[in-house]
Amino acid sequence: MSRARARSVDPPEKVSVELERWLAGSGSKTLQSLSELFGEKTFAIVFVLLLGVPALPLPTGGATHVFEIIAALLALELIAGRRQIWIPQRWRTIELAGQRQQRFIAGLLRMISRLERVSRPRLRFLFDHRLSNLVFGLLVLGGTAGAFLAPPFTGLDTLPALGVVLLSLGVLLEDILIVLAAVVVGIAGVALEVVLGSAAIHGLGDLL
């Protein structure tokens, strides 16, 4: 087997290892530093970090809306065909792993590590093409919108955000089964929001 062929079947480096290396490294843990380190992988890794906090089963009270807006902007860039992220200057210094985020990052890394133990590359040829990146961007945009529009303190942003996190990890790991599971989780989360939101509006109407 040729060296080029051997490289083509090598599994990608574990996302948890890459993230831990970045977190343990010197310097600030900002969007700018993440982009400089991960290059074309930055889109998926940034989605994991930005939606990782609302994906945890903890009420955020809308505190993660800035992260969700940034994720939506980056999803539009993917849809437009960009290979590298572009962010406004004032967002480049947003701290992704500061003192307040350490608890969330630790939980996120544990979840990623568990997922990596059961994952392996499946249908790798489907990934990293213009069309697949377009679909990736559209799905991230839909999941991010679902998380953003969830009523605060309800925890309903968890499933749409988790769908984006799983989707991004599926893209990073090049595992189509994780991608399909992510789509199911995201759709279920948005559907739950719609059902419970409609019930709440209906109940409020009965009271008035």
Domain holding 127, by residue range, is 3-207
pLDDT for 111-120, tens place per residue?
A: 888 888 888 8
Residue 7: pLDDT band with limits 50, 70, 90: very low
* The total number of structural domains that make up the chain: 1
Q: Do 183 and 167 meet the contact criterion of CB atoms below 8 Å apart?
A: yes
What pLDDT, on the 0 to 100 scale, is given for residue 41? 80
pLDDT single digits (tens) 8-54: 445 556 778 888 888 777 777 787 787 777 777 889 988 988 888 78
Q: 90-126 b/e with 16+ CB inside 10 Å = b?
A: eeeebebbeeebeebbebbbebbeebbeebeeeeeee
pLDDT digits (tens, 9 = 90+) for 181-207: 999 999 999 898 888 877 766 665 566
Predicted TM-score (pTM) of this structure: 0.81
C-beta separation of 134 from 187 below 8 A: no
